[in-house]
């Protein structure tokens, strides 16, 4: 968490200088706002992130030609933020805007498309349109494999995402195979620890659905350890793992422990997410399910 606070402090100081020294529609000022938005997004402060991303986009709309790559990046940042906020319609609209610009700017198969396809996959996964999600994640992986080294961390993220969709489609054997591919890369090269945490989390989910609760718990705890070390205690990504652990303990009829974890998830969700966010709705449903068993 300290890393994000330091980054935010640095970017805000730079932004103060930029606001004084640059004209209000200067492209560098747009980049400055985008950097601040990126840190807030990583911190789980999605409303603040959105505010800065929108400031950045407004400047770029005035200062840049409509097919400039940075213009596309702005729409991509907005899409990522909307996806985290649970506004999937807005996320898809922003993605369509980004993709249109990228099509005019880059050749087919350019690495820039990988992020766009990955985000499309995440949105469609959240919308439970798993075939579409899988198709986009596979497109992302295909680009990563052509444009990046064999054991690049981005490839691991794509493998884990594909594995997660296979889990959601009930194909646990394939899910495990892709998660293992992700883990093999992440154990060999230096990766973002939070990406490793997501792989552990996805493995935990797969084992839980296969009713192997002991192994599931081991992976949840690995993921939780990293997220608790790297994120603020009210970060929405912690709520996700607390909710998964509550479902595990519910399945093993340990209702008091399940209640402890789901309460943590609900508290974070109520503080950080809109009341209509699908995650918060799900946390509350799980809470009620557990409450009825106590």
pLDDT in tens, 169-182: 999 999 999 999 99
- Give the pLDDT score at 19: 92
What pLDDT was estimated at residue 132?
99
**Predicted confidence (pLDDT) per residue in 130-176, tens digit:** 999 999 999 999 999 999 999 999 999 999 999 999 999 999 999 99
The predicted pLDDT at position 1 comes to 57
CB 244 within 8 A of CB 283: no
Helices (H), the chain: 2-21, 27-42, 46-63, 69-85, 88-105, 112-126, 130-147, 153-168, 172-188, 193-209, 213-230, 236-251, 255-272, 278-293
pTM for the complete prediction? 0.94
Q: Which residues contact 280 (CB under 8 A, 6 or more apart)?
A: 266, 269, 270, 273, 274
d(C-alpha 140, C-alpha 209), whole Å: 26
User: Using one digit for the tens of pLDDT, what is the confidence trace for 1-56?
Assistant: 568 989 999 999 999 999 999 999 999 999 999 999 999 999 999 999 999 999 99
Q: Looking at the predicted structure, is the pLDDT value of residue 124 above 90?
A: yes
* pLDDT of res. 257: 98
Write down the pLDDT at residue 294.
84
Please give the average per-residue pLDDT across 244-266, as a whole number: 98
Q: Between the CA of residue 26 and those of 69, 90, 267, what are the distances in Å?
A: 16, 27, 41
Q: 238 Cβ partners below 8 Å, 6+ apart?
A: 224, 227, 228, 231, 264, 268
- Comparing 104-108, 236-240, 249-253, the range with the smallest average pLDDT is 104-108
DSSP 203-258: HHHHHHHTT-HHHHHHHHHHHHHHHHHHS-TT-HHHHHHHHHHHHHHHHTT-HHHH
- Categorize the per-residue pLDDT at 66 as very low, low, confident or very high, splitting at 50, 70 and 90: confident
Report whether pLDDT(103) > 60. yes
Q: Which range is least confidently modeled, 148-152, 209-213, 268-272?
A: 148-152
pLDDT at 3: 85
């Amino acid at each position: 968490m300290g890393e994000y606070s330091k980054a935010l402090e640095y970017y805000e100081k730079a932004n103060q200088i930029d606001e004084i020294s640059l004209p209000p529609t200067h492209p560098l000022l747009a980049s400055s706002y985008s950097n601040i938005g990126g840190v807030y997004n990583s911190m789980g402060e999605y409303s603040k992130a959105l505010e800065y991303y929108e400031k950045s986009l407004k400047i770029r709309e005035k200062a840049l030609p409509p097919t400039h790559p940075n213009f596309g990046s702005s729409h991509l940042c907005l899409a990522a933020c909307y996806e985290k906020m649970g506004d999937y319609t807005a996320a898809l609209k922003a993605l369509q805007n980004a993709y249109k610009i990228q099509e005019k700017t880059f050749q087919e198969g350019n690495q820039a498309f990988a992020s766009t396809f990955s985000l499309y996959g995440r949105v469609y996964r959240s919308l439970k349109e798993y075939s579409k999600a899988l198709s986009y994640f596979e497109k992302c992986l295909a680009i990563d494999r052509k444009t990046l080294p064999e054991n690049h961390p981005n490839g691991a993220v794509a493998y884990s995402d594909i594995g997660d969709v296979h889990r959601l489609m009930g194909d646990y054997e394939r899910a495990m195979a892709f998660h293992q591919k992700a883990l093999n890369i992440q154990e060999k090269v230096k990766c973002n620890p939070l990406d490793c945490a997501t792989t552990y989390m996805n493995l935990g989910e797969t084992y839980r659905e296969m009713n192997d609760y002991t192994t599931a718990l081991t992976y949840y705890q690995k993921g939780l350890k990293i997220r608790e070390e790297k994120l603020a205690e009210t970060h929405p990504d912690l709520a996700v793992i607390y909710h998964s652990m509550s479902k595990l303990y519910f399945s093993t009829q340990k209702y008091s422990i399940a209640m402890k974890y789901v309460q943590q998830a609900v508290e974070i969700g109520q503080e950080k997410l809109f009341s209509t966010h699908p995650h918060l709705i799900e946390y509350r449903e799980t809470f009620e399910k557990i409450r009825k068993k106590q």
